[in-house]
Amino acid sequence: MNRTLPLLLWLLALIGLAMLPQLLTVKYYLHLSILALIWVIVAQGQNLIQGFTGYVSIVQAGFMGIGAYASTLIGLNFQWPLWATMTLAPVVTALFALATGYPSLRVKGHYFAIVTLAFNLIIVIVLVNYSELTKGEAGISNIPKPWRGDRESFFYLALTLAALLTLLAALIARSRVGEILLAIRQNEDLVAAVGIAAWKYKLFAFVISAMYAGLGGALYAHFQGFINPEIFGVAQSLDAILAVILGGSGTIAGPVIGAFLVVFLPEILRFADSFRLILYGLILVLATIFMPIGIVGIAKTAFARITGRGARHGG
């Protein structure tokens, strides 16, 4: 596969997304598109640790919550401007990720998933019970919005950030660090055997993925104007994992497609009324069983079969 075709597709997708506010007549779809763009950021982060490094972390929504609460609380308590709190949110999240990542990355496979799951549960419990600061279950409302809460401008803010962070993820994946992360996924013992300190790279991937989630969470808080602990529960972490698996883990386009699916699929299924979530779950189960390589993986294999050339790995 040559390099110009993917680039062209990316450019087309970006132009298409940039025109979206003009094309969508229903405000609600614009609202969903913004949510999807926020999920693109979260899923790109999840992909770094899950897709490239091969460690399935179930704490992505918990880190979103830390970012969201950090940005909101700093803004409300210290009257910091919005851009400052939103830049600080990933930094705060990174500190938490350092503290939780160092111990959890000492265990592998299922144990890593369980430890991160426990961290997500802890984050939610603390957010609920530390109500002097977080206002507990009731949540925080009236969170300031950028530019008077205008949806179109927020869409472009989210689009810019999602595009830049996707580019950053692509750069990381193509760099030497990205190659080492892929090597860790394939054979961690071998990586250690050739003298590379695998834990440093794993921690790097974990912290960066948390920073993506933190920024996504901060964006979410300032977009919705309301947050409570429930939004950042394990169910949302599983959505992030599903977005990566559905789109295609270990690819750059995968999380983008997956994020839009995870946000739009439950809405498209509204025709099914009360069977909506059952149908949604069924589709997810079937998709995970029958296409574990994701949509991007299938598209790549199909493309390679048509052109008669071998599919390139990664990218």
* Chain residues in the site for other proteins (CB under 8 A): 103-104, 106-107, 111, 114-115, 118-119, 121-122, 125-126, 129
Q: Distance between CA 155 and CA 152 in Å, rounded?
A: 5
Residue 226, strand partner residues:
141
Q: Minimum Å distance from CB 112 to other proteins?
A: 9
Q: Distance between CA 53 and CA 40 in Å, rounded?
A: 18
Closer CB to other proteins, 198 or 242, in the complex: 198
Closer CB to other proteins, 61 or 242, in the complex: 61
For residue 132, give every residue at least 6 positions away whose Cβ sits within 8 Å of its Cβ, in sequence order, or none.
none
Closer CB to other proteins, 1 or 107, in the complex: 107
Query: Residues 55, 105: contact at Cβ < 8 Å?
Result: yes
Supply 54's token pair.
Answer: 């091969």
Q: Minimum Å distance from CB 117 to other proteins?
A: 9
Closer CB to other proteins, 103 or 314, in the complex: 103
Q: Minimum Å distance from CB 92 to other proteins?
A: 20
Q: Distance between CA 90 and CA 211 in Å, rounded?
A: 4
Closer CB to other proteins, 16 or 103, in the complex: 103
CA 108 to each of CA 9, 114, 165, 184, 201: distance values in angstroms, whole numbers, following the listed order: 37, 10, 27, 12, 14
Q: Minimum Å distance from CB 115 to other proteins?
A: 5
Closer CB to other proteins, 115 or 208, in the complex: 115
Secondary structure (3-state) at 141: strand
289, burial (CB in 10 Å: exposed 0-12, middle 13-18, buried 19+): exposed
Q: Minimum Å distance from CB 54 to other proteins?
A: 18
Q: Minimum Å distance from CB 313 to other proteins?
A: 32
